[in-house]
Structure 1
C-alpha cells in the first residue's frame, strides 16, 4: 500500500508511537536536571554529578520511534485534512507536523553529539533553541487539535485517540 492511499484514521502503531513519544518528551522536559548536572560536571572535568542515563535512553527512544513513525507514514500514509477546511489550516498543520518531525530528530541527535562528542554548542542548541522550538511547536499542535475538535468539530482529535480498524 502506498502513502497516497487515503486513510480515515491512523493505525494502531501510529497512535501508540505518537503517545509514547509524547510521554518520552514530557519526561525529557520535566526531568532533565540530572543530564544538565552530568554534562556540566563532565565539561568542567569534575565528574560524578547527576545521572545522564535516563535522559540518554529516553532521547534514543525518541529518535528510534520518530524514525519508525516516518517509515510508517511514508509506507501507510496519513488521513487527509478534514473536508471543507480552509487551505491555510491545512498548510499550517503540514508545517507544524513537519517541524515536529525535524525537531524529534534534531533534539536527540544534538544531545548525542553534545554528550558523546563533548560539543558544547550542540548542548547549548539542544537545551536552548531546539528545546524552546519544540515546546512552541507542540503548543501550536495541541492548540490546533483542540480547535479542530471543539471549535470546528472536525473529529481530528479522535483519529489520534482511536486507531483505525
Structure 2
C-alpha cells in the first residue's frame, strides 16, 4: 500500500463503482421479476418458468453486486481513496463518511437478505430486504448523488472528475 493519498480513483475503482451503480439501479428499478415470483409463490406455492427466470435475473444481479462491492472494498483498503477536497466543510465531510459506510453496509446487506429470502426461503429476510433496506438504499443513493452534484456545481470541486475520467 502506498503511503501517499491518491489524487484520483484508479481505473479499476472507477469501473467497479459505475458497474455497481448500474447493477444497483437495474435491480432497484426493475424488480418486477422477483416481485411476480414472490406473489406467485405466496398465492399458489409455485411459479412459472418465466417468473423463475425473472427472479433469477434479479438474484444474479444481486450476487454480482455483492461480488463487485467485495472487490471495491479490497481496492479501497489496498489502494486508498482520494482525500476530501478542502472546499468541503467538516460537517459535510463527516456526513460523506457516514453515507459511504451506510452505502457499503446496505450494498452488502441487500444481497445477503435477498439470498436469505430467495434461496433459503426466509420470509423475514425478504421483508427486511424489500420493505426496509430498499427504502434506506434509495435514501442513501439519492444523498450520494446530491452530494456529488453539490461538489460539482456549488463547491466546484473535482469530485465527479475523480470518479469519471480520473
| Whole-angstrom distance in 1 between the partners of 2:147 and 2:79 | 23
1:47 and 2:47 are equivalent in the alignment: yes
1:81 and 2:80 are equivalent in the alignment: no
| Whole-angstrom distance in 1 between the partners of 2:19 and 2:152 | 22
Q: Normalising by structure 2, what TM-score?
A: 0.93
How big is the shift at 1:84?
4.1
Matched with 1:124 is 127
Matched with 1:13 is 12
Contact 2:99 2:140 in 1 (8 A): yes
| Runs (4+) off by over 6 Å | none
Q: Normalising by structure 1, what TM-score?
A: 0.93
Larger deviation, residues 56-65 vs 42-51: 42-51
How big is the shift at 1:39?
2.3
Contact 1:43 1:118 in 2 (8 A): no
Q: Deviations over 1:86-125 (max 9, x none)?
A: 2111101100111000000000000000011111111111
User: Which blocks of at least 5 consecutive residues in structure 2 are unaligned?
Assistant: none
| Whole-angstrom distance in 2 between the partners of 1:112 and 1:157 | 33
User: Which blocks of at least 5 consecutive residues in structure 1 are unaligned?
Assistant: none
| Whole-angstrom distance in 1 between the partners of 2:109 and 2:56 | 19
Matched with 2:35 is 36
Q: Deviations over 1:9-66 (max 9, x none)?
A: 0000000011001110111012111111112323441322622111011001000000
| Count of residue correspondences | 162
Matched with 1:156 is 159
Match of 1:60 among 58, 63, 70: 63
Give the match's secondary structure for 1:117. coil
